[in-house]
Amino acid sequence: MEGGDKSEEEPRGPRQALRMGTLQSQENSPEERLPTERSRLRPTARRVLMTVLVFSALLASSVLLFYTFRNCGPSPCQTPACRDLGARYLASGDSGAAPCADFFSFACGRANGTSGSFQALAEENKSRLRGILEAQGSWHPGLGEEKAFQFYNSCMDTHAIEAAGAGPLRQVIEELGGWCISGNWTSLDFNRTLRLLMSQYGHFPFFRAYLGPHPASSHTPVIQIDQPEFDVPLKQEQEQKVSAQIFREYLTYLNQLGTLLGGDPGKVQEHASLSISITSQLSQFLRPLEQRQAQGKLFQMVTVDQLQEMAPAIDWLSCLQATFTPMSLSPSQTLMVHDLEYLKNMSRLVEELVLTQRDFLQSHMILGLVGTLSPALDSKFQDARRELSQKLRELTEQPPVPARPRWIECVEETGVFFEPTLAALYVQEAFGPRTQSAAMELFTAIKDALITRLRSLSWVNKETRDEAQDKVTQLQVEMGAPEWALKPELGRQEYSDVQLGPSFLQSVLSCVRSLRARIVRSFLQPFPHHRWKVSPWAVSAYYSIPDHAVVFPAGLLQPPFFHPGYPRAVNFGAAGSIMAHELMHIFYKLLLPGGCPACDTHALQRELLCLERHYAAFPLPGRSFFNGSRRFLENVADVGGLTIALQAYNKRLLWHYGETTLPGLDLSPQQIFFRSYAQVMCNGHSSQDPHHTHSPAPLRVHGPLSSTPAFARHFRCPRGTLLNPSSRCQLW
């Protein structure tokens, strides 16, 4: 209070104030002056006290905040799933690599030389299927399950297969009229033999025929006639020396087959040589896909009658009717032909052979059938096939394929023939309601982040943005498994026509016929929704343009890509980036020339060119695949997928607390997000095969990460390092 009074008296002037003070000091005793002096000290004491109190409060708050953040910040996840994942990351990563210069090695350095992440997950899924098939006592089998288990057991019973030897195959050859290599044979009508091969044995020696979606309507089936698949990789551009070596290896293989079937060596040699000659002539008729595409003849729509007139050697109606029963075909039936010129030339060659060398033509068809059926035969046939494959890979400079355990082959065969049953059992074990709910929640967060991101794209106008948002909103999402896989009773009704035994070969042939009939029936039934292209245990997601549907199989949504108990950083970085990548495919058309006339074309082309140059700057060989190719579009989807997944993750962190980290890794949640993204690519595709749609694995890691400022910030990358460039593109 004294300070206030003093300020009010100051206008009186210094003299008056001095005089009053003098008079007062003269009149009062020291005792009387004491209260006044205490009063003058009181404001200073208060100020000191307040300073101490404020400092103490700040200190206490700091300590409290320290302990709060220390105790409530991200803590390691200690569940078995998290510990397994942490150990996996430690085993694959190279902590000695500099993350800002080579994040691929940092995340995947120790994984080189082993199977990639997708391949490893596929093998784990097959191992789980094996467990299902071998733990038969824990299930309550119906008709479908029982036959699936029996087929798998028959496949694994190698003793019975070896004991049967070539007997079951000789029986098949006799049903086809025999062949002169082994003695008795009946000269049957060529088209009758071809009809049996196609309908009863699933072998197509001169062309392939299968049901597929009509180009104008994805839910309307159409029979498609395509080029054949040959055992030998004969190409017109191959060196003559390489082609001669390939012929010699294939001739050796055919001689082995004929000898194993009891043929006279001299006669086998003669028939095998002519069979190779037929294959060589047919291969000369083939036109590469690129050539047909350039000529605008990827396919042609013709009727059975029209095809019969252009390629008369084949009885098309009879052969196709037998193959696609219970479809009812007529001469006016429309067919989709992929290479009409090949079929014309093939027909002329067959007509000539029927007239002049019918017995050699019969041997050619049977030798091809033996190759097709070799996986169901004893080890002598399988070894001959495996040896041919390895030598051909050497001649064509392809890496060798390691031998696979028998159980993997049996699991795959069982999965092909009994997919409805195995799908239901796999989903029941590996994709329960908790996992399915968590996966759908993750996808919803990714989809919402994409819609938000569309609003900030500079090259998209409002009309296009609204259309794009509508497309995302109307997207059909298939998560885990198709509807029929979630209803096991459907699978139990599919196998009444399967007859197992007496030999494994007979079981395989019965399953081949049953599978084809099921495929035909499924196409004939009304099917308003998307038809899955992969099995539920597959590890490949995809976007279907005709159906505007995105598919994420249960096999993909497994550790190490996804688990309901993982830290969010893992799920968003791995599975979330995969989901976002597939959503990016919705906008492919916008990125193509003329695909978005209402967009800011100049800005769009500028950013596309920027991204192309950005990728081309990475130290990897081979750059021809960037110029407008599908691979470049996949790079665009990689960048956009990471951007969207990161945005969704950041939003989830903002609204949900309790994030965890992985044990054993000194990484923050944001760093784990980027590590999980890279982990998906570990030791993935690394070749420069121009037909592969994805870039090499290091580029799939470094390209998107270097385009993301948050990566450089969280890993404290100096400006100008490989993954923190001085400038970035702004496409997404």
**Catalytic residue numbers, as ranges:** 582, 638
CA 684 → CA 121, 215, 282, 569, distances in Å? 12, 33, 35, 21
Structural contact between residues 219 and 528, judged by C-beta atoms closer than 8 angstroms: yes
Spatial distance between the Cα atoms of 84 and 286, rounded to a whole number of angstroms: 50
Spatial distance between the Cα atoms of 639 and 624, rounded to a whole number of angstroms: 20
Q: What stretch of H or E contains 334?
A: strand 334-337
Phi-psi region of 501 (alpha: psi -120 to 50; beta: other; left: phi over 0): left
What DSSP string runs through 343-404? HHHHHHHHHHHHHH-HHHHHHHHHHHHHHHHGGGS-HHHHHHHHHHHHHHHHHTT-PPPPP-
Question: Which DSSP letter does residue 476 get?
Answer: E
Structural contact between residues 526 and 333, judged by C-beta atoms closer than 8 angstroms: no
Q: Identify the CA nearest to 599 among candidates 388, 398, 458.
A: 458
Structural contact between residues 188 and 501, judged by C-beta atoms closer than 8 angstroms: no
Spatial distance between the Cα atoms of 417 and 414, rounded to a whole number of angstroms: 5
Provide the token pair at 568.
């969010």
Please compute, for residue 134, the number of CA atoms within 13 A of its CA located in the half-sphere on the CB side. Answer: 13
Residue type at position 545: I
Provide the token pair at 73.
């910040």
Residues 6+ apart with CB under 8 A from 413: 151, 155, 375, 508
The count of other CB atoms within 10 Å of the CB of residue 378 is: 22
Enumerate the β-bridge partners of residue 337: 225, 300
Structural contact between residues 301 and 224, judged by C-beta atoms closer than 8 angstroms: no
User: What are the backbone dihedrals phi and psi of residue 275, each rounded to the nearest 5 degrees, phi first?
Assistant: -60, -40
Question: Which DSSP letter does residue 229 get?
Answer: -
Helix, strand, coil shares, percent, the chain, to 5:
60, 5, 30
Enumerate the β-bridge partners of residue 207: none
